[in-house]
Amino acid sequence: MKIKRSMGERIFGVFNYIILSLIMLLCFYPVWYVLVASFSDSGLLMQHSGLLFKSLGFNTDAYVKVFQNPMILRGYANTLFILVVGVVFDIIMTSLGAYFLSRKNVMFKKPIIILIMFTMFFSGGMIPFYLNLKDLHLTKTLWGLIIPFMISTYNMIILRTSFESLPDSLVEAAQIDGASHFKILGRIVLPLSKAIIAVMVLYYGVGIWNAWFWASAIIRDREQYPLQVILREILLQNDVGSMSAGVSVADQEAVGMTIKYATIVVATVPILCVYPFLQRYFTKGVMIGAVKE
Amino acid sequence: MKKQSFSQRAKKDFRRNRALYLLVLPVLAFYIIFHYKPMYGAIIAFKDYSPGTGIAASPWVGLANFTRFFSGPYFARLIRNTLLLSLYSLLFGFPAPIILALLLNEVRNKKFKSVTQTITYLPHFISMIVVTGMISNFCLSNGLFNDIIVLFGGERSPLLQNPNLYRTIYVASSIWQEVGWGSIIYLSALSGVDAQLYEAASIDGAGKWKQMLNVTLPGISPTIITMLILKMGSLMSLGYEKTILLYNASTYETADIISSYTYRVGLLDQDWSYSTAIGLFNSVINCVLLVISNRLSKKLSDTSLW
Amino acid sequence: MRKKNVLAVILSAALAAATLAGCGGTDNKDGLQTGNSQTGSSQAGSSQTDSTQAETGSQSGTALTYWCELNQNVSANYSNLGETPFGKEWQKETGITVEFQHPPANQGSEQFSLMLADGELPDLLEYAWMNYPGGPEKAIKDGNIYELTDIINQYCPNLRKYLDENPDIDRMIKTDEGHYYCFPFIRGDDRLCNTIGLMLRQDWLEELDMEVPTTIDEWHDVLVAFRDKKGATAPLSWEYTMGSLTSANPFAYAYGTCREFYLGDDGKIHFGPAEDGYKQYLELFHQWYGEKLIDQDLASLQLDQVSAKITSGQAGASIGWAGSRMGTWVNAAVQTNPDFMLVCAPYPTINKGDQPQMGQIDNRYPNQGSVAITTSCKDIEAAAKLMDFAYGEEGHMMFNFGIEGESYNMIDGYPTYTDVILNNPDGWSVAQSLSAYIRGNYNGPFVQDIRYLEQYYTIDTQKESNLIWGATNAAKYKVPPVTPTTEESKEYSTIMNEINTYRDEMTLKFILGDESLDKFDEYVKTLNELGLERALEIQNAALDRYNAR
């Protein structure tokens, strides 16, 4: 900066840091609270009131109990399956749509856009959607949680904008060389869009990881429950007993509160861990996918 | 004459873009199968659907399900609650990520910036179930929020039992969860603003504030307006998940919204046709709002969704 | 030119058709393939369960599918009822293979609702069938479940015999038209019907030199003492969000009213929340809430919070079950506080020495855990045989006590649980180990035996609970299991949904003080505007039909 910063700007700068630090604190503290509570001694936690800055005592019993529960591990496996397969399907389908929408000189593009956008605001409703799933034999299977949710229109629009920002000459040159659209998409467009694809992976991934409603509606085999459904059972059912197989009644009460917090941590940490891997794409500032136009 | 040229153009277009249309086929099929087919199913809103007889054969009842909703005792309240909650979410929730993005944009320290970003994204990753669980715990009369209230000389009270506070809690927690994540899109739009414009402005002697008004905001306004239109279109479609996890009988007065009511009558009382009718009504309102706001935006700023 | 136009139309139509057909096809294929690979992988994952099912050796015919909610005490250790010793034994004894399906906890009614909506039902469906929208008769008419009269007469000698011997039960489980629709859960003894009541800290009472309260005024004194002298921040605390507990509010009963319908002295059905007694009850609770005698977080109270408050001494009294609440709390709390003890209190009265009139009581047919055979069932005989087993001698013992020599032994003609149940080697709670071997401790299609309860209760005051809580005239006020006619049912449920929502909301507002009790008359007026009179008319007509059965 060549120009000297004025007094007002400096004051603003200081305030800016203070405000942002406060926002950070607000976002961080509840997460921290859950984390330290999960490591606390349950008895102490029950009697404690007020803010919590570090764990009350140190106790990992709750985690031992959580991982003793066979349902949690099955839930992990199921969620992982939906996550991996789902994200692959999602990305493929969304890129296909976005690529089409980013091409110019296509006559029926506009009606197709309208056809697609309309679904963002108009839906048949829960019951017709479910009846449709059943007609397609997509109930009672994990695929019912993948296939019907392959495309998020919102994400597709973002991806399209990003594709549009790539120079036309690239695609045109490839077309002159006789490359098919599939090839162009796979060899040129996608490799150039790694950053935005990373963002898409994260968008879809978080969505899949945290989804529970349709799973609880269509899955009837407990062996197939994704993690969030089990998490919900534990948190909402208020039944500490069901969590702590192999514990005597008294122990159940003692670890009850912390088990809930530990379950939250166990169910949230994996998806949090994905983020740092994708973060560099964010910080590179290459998120060109802003919805424009 | 016109028709002719249309068919010719279409033919030519198909010849040239055949491969492209083939490529988009699966996407179209997806939309038709998973979005448009359920819309056909929504005709049960005009029928007395019974599973034994199926969608097609169930008897027509005309608008009976709709009139029942409109004349029901809770109609006015549901509309009011849904609208108010949406409006507050829009009023406070929409500018929040923009402001955060603008603030972040002014931070020079790269490290601080990336740490702030990472931490403000955190809440987005936490599932709704956990977030509402945390809120309910913190709102108890011996919960975290009350501890803070007492710290500032207030009195303890069960916060989630107070209908006057419900909307505040709902909106504030949504902002908390989404502000960081929502700022991503504006940050990227900000990074797209031409640096030369800033230089030119500062040469003209414009201060930070003026630069923001004259360069930054116009630069990201297409993004802002597009997001706003999208939000307007879903103004009435607040999900039921958060509501059913957060409300109780003492806060129905402000908390019960169309979608939670639909959930109750449709899934808990098995009144499928009725709940579909309410959902349909909701969708129609969404579309009307969307068209209106898109038209307004086209007129005022030349930005349009289509 | 026109030709070209037509051609274009045909072309685009063909394209669209190809799109639909082609992709619909691939989608379906996808679904199927994936479906297969899915079951493949899940089989691999759960090979243990499969092999155990194979062990039962029941290869006769195809498996029956059976949908029911999985009790929490079962899901603690098993993910499927078929894996439990109980499930295996049941299949072995009957020689019928059963494939159990379960919804997530608390999502039972949602999944039930969706299953009905799509009409794709399991062979056997366990539910509270009187809650079927439109009543059980409608379920038959909708073509969802079979009318069972012929099936019971033909294939179910055990149930037939039981019903012939117990005409009062027989009357309860039929529709007005005289149709059977389910294999019922029946409480085998009147003492099993009083399950909910008041309990409070005995050690505190002794310390404060107070008696177990029997009147409203005495309760007030005790709660005040708990608050002031024992530092209880929520002297009376119970799971308000649990419908069955809130419906059974002993203090409302004291004013001759309740949250539901009840049978009045005039032999007609009345709606408690619209009557003067309800106002008195609300006044009392509003006062107590203001005095901080009732948990301030009332509206959102759930089990974990109440448990924490009771065991840590923030609360001193509660409403609940003798087993799953009282027993659990005492066992948990004595670990840290050896003096901790709860005692059952009788239903309170207004005047000292009066006999309590109303109280919580279940019907012998309590409308839960009853199984219907759906119209999807291909092998009705097998289904009927499977169900009938529980009503015979052998099945009765198995459903209530488990496997002889393993979970119980006959000692002097009394089925006594072994240490597998009472002192489980794996450290399971009694409720959990019971749930592995029997269904007697919750519900299901069988006749519940009182001898299970006698052993399940280990604390003295638990054992007295059904005497203390049962000392009312509750049965006299209990509405029998009546059902509206199919035609009236939709109207009835629409009215009652709205009335119940309004009642819940206003009840809380009156108690919390958000609404003044001067408005009580307006509230009653609104109830009537919502159609209360019509609902009562329908209920009373249903009662007449019931009495005429």
pLDDT in tens, B156-214: 888 988 999 999 999 999 999 989 888 887 887 787 777 788 888 888 877 777 888 88
Nearest residue to B58 (alpha-carbon basis) of C548, A248, C142: C142
Q: Please, which residues bridge with residue C227 across strands?
A: none
Q: Could you give the domains of chain B?
A: 64-301 (1.10.3720.10)
Residues 357-416 of C with CB under 8 A from B: none
* Mutant choice from A47, A127, A181, A283 vs B, greatest count of B C-beta within 10 A: A127
Supply C22's token pair. Answer: 């082609």
Contact B103 A232 (CB under 8 A): no
Q: What are phi and psi of C420, to 5 degrees?
A: -55, -35
Query: Alpha-carbon distance B81 to B260, whole Å?
Result: 11
Q: What is the pLDDT of residues B69-81, one digit of tens each?
A: 898 888 999 999 9
* Mutant choice from B125, B246, B258 vs A, greatest count of A C-beta within 10 A: B125
Query: Alpha-carbon distance A151 to A98, whole Å?
Result: 10
Please give, one letter per residue, the 3-state secondary structure of chain A.
CCCCCCHHHHHHHHHHHHHHHHHHHHHHHHHHHHHHHHCCCHHHHHHCCCCCCCCCCCCCHHHHHHHHCHHHHHHHHHHHHHHHHHHHHHHHHHHHHHHHHHCCCCCCHHHHHHHHHHHHHCCCCHHHHHHHHHHCCCCCCHHHHCHHHCCCHHHHHHHHHHHHCCCHHHHHHHHHCCCCHHHHHHHHHHHHCHHHHHHHHHHHHHHHHHCCHHHHHHCCCHHHCCHHHHHHHHHHCCCHHHHCCCCCHHHHHHHHHHHHHHHHHHHHHHHHHHHHHHHHHHHCCCCCCCCCC
Mean pLDDT of chain C: 84
**C86-90: average pLDDT:** 95
Lowest mean pLDDT among A268-277, B104-113, C189-198, C419-428: A268-277
Q: What is the pLDDT of residue C185?
A: 94
Which pTM was predicted? 0.82
Contact C505 B21 (CB under 8 A): no
Q: What are phi and psi of C186, to 5 degrees?
A: -125, 130
Supply C483's token pair. Answer: 């059902």
Q: What is the pLDDT of residues C268-293, one digit of tens each?
A: 999 999 999 999 999 999 999 999 99
């120079």: which residue's tokens?
A167
Question: How close A127 gets to chain C, by Cα (Å)?
Answer: 8
Q: Just give the CATH number of C56-189+364-448.
A: 3.40.190.10
Minimum-distance CB partner of A28 among B17, B119, B128: B119
Nearest residue to C381 (alpha-carbon basis) of C83, C60, C107, C74: C60
Percentage helix, strand, coil for chain B under 3-state DSSP, each rounded to 5? 80, 0, 20
Q: Does A238 touch chain B (CB under 8 A)?
A: no
Q: Does C502 touch chain B (CB under 8 A)?
A: yes
Q: Identify the three-state secondary structure at position C386.
A: helix
Q: Does C336 touch chain A (CB under 8 A)?
A: yes
Question: How close B283 gets to chain A, by Cα (Å)?
Answer: 5
Supply B268's token pair. Answer: 């808990």
Q: Give contacts of C110 with chain B, Cβ < 8 Å.
A: 267-268
- b/e for B48-74, b at 16 or more Cβ within 10 A? bbbbeeebeebeebeebbbebbeebeb
Q: Does A205 touch chain C (CB under 8 A)?
A: no
Q: What is the pLDDT of residues B131-153, one digit of tens each?
A: 888 888 888 888 888 888 888 88
C248/C25: higher pLDDT: C248
Query: Alpha-carbon distance C410 to C395, whole Å?
Result: 15
Q: What is the pLDDT of residues C334-360, one digit of tens each?
A: 878 899 999 999 999 999 989 999 999
Q: What is the dihedral of CA C48, C49, C54, C58, to 10 degrees?
A: 160
* Mutant choice from B119, B199, B225 vs A, greatest count of A C-beta within 10 A: B119
Minimum-distance CB partner of C505 among B141, B252, B265: B252
Q: What one-character DSSP code corresponds to residue C169?
A: H
The single-letter code of the amino acid at C288 is W
- b/e for C307-340, b at 16 or more Cβ within 10 A? bbbbbebbbbbbbbbbbbbbbbbbbbbebeeeeb
Nearest residue to C394 (alpha-carbon basis) of C87, C60, C93, C84: C93
Q: Does A34 touch chain B (CB under 8 A)?
A: yes
What DSSP string runs through B221-273?
Answer: HHHHHHHHHHHHHTTT---HHHHHHH--GGGHHHH--HHHHHHIIIIIS--HH
Q: What is the pLDDT of residue B230?
A: 75
Q: What is the pLDDT of residues A245-260, one digit of tens each?
A: 333 343 444 456 677 7
Q: What is the pLDDT of residues A231-248, one digit of tens each?
A: 887 776 544 333 333 333
Q: Give contacts of A182 with chain B, Cβ < 8 Å.
A: 19, 23
Q: Which residues belong to CATH 3.40.190.10 in chain C?
A: 56-189+364-448, 195-360+474-548
Q: Give contacts of C297 with chain B, Cβ < 8 Å.
A: 140-141, 158, 161
């399956």: which residue's tokens?
A81
Reply yes or no on whether the pLDDT at A288 is more than 60.
Answer: no
Contact A241 C72 (CB under 8 A): yes
**Topology of the domain covering C195-360+474-548:** D-Maltodextrin-Binding Protein; domain 2 (3.40.190)
Reply yes or no on whether the pLDDT at C47 is more than 50.
Answer: no
Contact C143 B52 (CB under 8 A): yes
Q: Does C300 touch chain B (CB under 8 A)?
A: yes
Q: How far is CA B242 from the centre of its chain?
A: 13
Reply yes or no on whether the pLDDT at A202 is more than 90.
Answer: no
For domain A69-236, the CATH superfamily is: MetI-like (1.10.3720.10)
